[in-house]
Amino acid sequence: MDTYRKVLSLRTEAEGCIVDITKDVDSAVSASKMDEGLACVFVPHSTAAVFAIEHEPGVEKDLRAALQRSFPKEIRYEHDQAWHDGNGHSHVRSSFLGPSLTVPFHAGALDLGTWQQLVLMELDNRGRERKVIIQIIGQKAKG
């Protein structure tokens, strides 16, 4: 087994911003020169998340609305009481969406469905500088 690591740096514009990182992850798999394996995508931030979704405006709008219904900004969060930064909802939302995902790849290509893209979602109450760690484990083609 071999490993490969790539760290992306990107800037989000605002809360709710969804950034398609599929090409970046695919590029890391190509750069690894591995044929078979797993790509772990991890965001080391407590107010952002990574996941797979159909990256189109309707689904994005539906997701933002579902997050607001499930984890409203306007309710009391103990985090806000302690830190007065207004992002308690951001921490809760990110814990439900998750900081990582693992995608298998075969013949050097990500095993994604036709309508799946890999995205980072900004959940904090403002845009931020974000890092995305792509850690790949697998094996190189024999021959």
143 confidence band (pLDDT: 50, 70, 90) = low
Whole-angstrom Cα distance, residue 86 to residue 79?
8
Q: What is the model's pLDDT at position 142?
A: 75
Encoded amino acid at 120, one letter? L
Return all residues near 113 (Cβ < 8 A) that are at least 6 apart: none
pTM beyond cutoff 0.85: yes
Whole-number Cα distances in Å, 133 to 10, 18, 24: 11, 17, 11
The answer to whether domain 2-140 has CATH 3.40.50.300 is no
Q: Which residues of 46-77 are buried (b: 16+ CB within 10 A; e: fewer)?
A: ebbbbbbbebeeeebeebeeebeeebebeeeb
pLDDT tens-digit series, residues 102-131:
999 999 999 999 999 999 999 999 999 999
3-class DSSP state of 60 = helix
Whole-angstrom Cα distance, residue 132 to residue 122?
12
Q: How do the domains of the chain map onto residue ranges?
A: 2-140
Instruction: Read off the pLDDT of each residue in 8-24 and give the average, rounded to a whole number.
Output: 98
46 confidence band (pLDDT: 50, 70, 90) = very high
Of 50, 27, 53, 29, nearest in space to 39 by CA: 29
Encoded amino acid at 97, one letter? L
